[in-house]
Structure 1
Amino acid sequence: MARPQRGAEITRQIIDLIVERELPPGAPMPTELSLMNDIGVSRTSIREAIKALQALGIVEVRHGHGTFVGSGGPEALQTWLMFRTRTRGDVGRLRDLLELREMIETELTRRVATKHRPELIGELEACVARMRRKGPDSAAADREFHDLLGAESGFALARELTGLFWDVYRATEAEVGGPVSSPASTAKRHQRIVDALVQGDPDAAAEAMHRHFDEVRKRAKAGPYGAVGAP
Structure 2
Amino acid sequence: MARTTLGDSVADQLLERIIEGIYAVGTALPAEASIGEELNVSRLTVREAMKSLRAKNVVEARRGSGTFVNPPSIWTSLEAVVQAMSAGGAAETSIQLLEVRRMIEVGSAQLAAGRRTEADLLAMAGHLSTMRGAHAGGDLDGFVAADLAFHDVILKATGNIMVAALYDPLDRLLARGRRETSAVADIQAHAIAMHEDILTALAAGNPEASRDAMEAHMVQTRDDLLHYVLDGNS
Same fold (TM over 0.5): yes
The one-letter code of the counterpart of 1:47 is T
* Cα displacement string for residues 72-107 of structure 1 (whole angstroms, at most 9, x for unaligned residues): x97544312213444xxxx54531220121110010
The one-letter code of the counterpart of 1:161 is L
Cα gap change, 1:107 to 1:27, in 2 (>3 Å): same
Are 2:148 and 2:175, in contact at CA under 8 Å, matched by a contact in 1?
A: no
Are 2:144 and 2:182, in contact at CA under 8 Å, matched by a contact in 1?
A: no
Structure 2 Cα separation of the partners of residues 176 and 138 of structure 1: 11
Trace 1:134-213 onto structure 2 (pairs within 5 A): 134=134, 135=139, 136-165=141-170, 167-171=172-176, 178-179=183-184, 181=186, 183-213=188-218
Gaps of 5+ in 1: 1-24, 30-42, 59-72
Give the 3-state SS of the residue equivalent to 2:133 in structure 1: coil
Other-structure match for 1:106 = 106
Cα gap change, 1:75 to 1:53, in 2 (>3 Å): farther
Trace 1:1-231 onto structure 2 (pairs within 5 A): 25-26=1-2, 46-51=44-49, 76-86=80-90, 91-134=91-134, 135=139, 136-165=141-170, 167-171=172-176, 178-179=183-184, 181=186, 183-221=188-226
Cα gap change, 1:123 to 1:173, in 2 (>3 Å): closer
Cα gap change, 1:223 to 1:52, in 2 (>3 Å): farther
The one-letter code of the counterpart of 1:156 is I
Q: May I ask how many residue pairs the two structures share in their alignment?
A: 171
* Cα displacement string for residues 41-96 of structure 1 (whole angstroms, at most 9, x for unaligned residues): xx95641244357889x9xxxxxxxxxxxxxx97544312213444xxxx545312
Q: CA RMSD in A?
A: 3.7
The one-letter code of the counterpart of 1:199 is A
1:125 Cα offset (Å): 0.6
Gaps of 5+ in 2: 6-40, 57-76
Cα gap change, 1:53 to 1:144, in 2 (>3 Å): farther
Give the structure-2-normalised TM-score: 0.58
Are 2:85 and 2:93, in contact at CA under 8 Å, matched by a contact in 1?
A: no
Cα gap change, 1:44 to 1:104, in 2 (>3 Å): same
Give the structure-1-normalised TM-score: 0.59
Are 1:94 and 1:223, in contact at CA under 8 Å, matched by a contact in 2?
A: no
Give the 3-state SS of the residue equivalent to 1:213 in structure 2: helix
Cα gap change, 1:130 to 1:199, in 2 (>3 Å): same
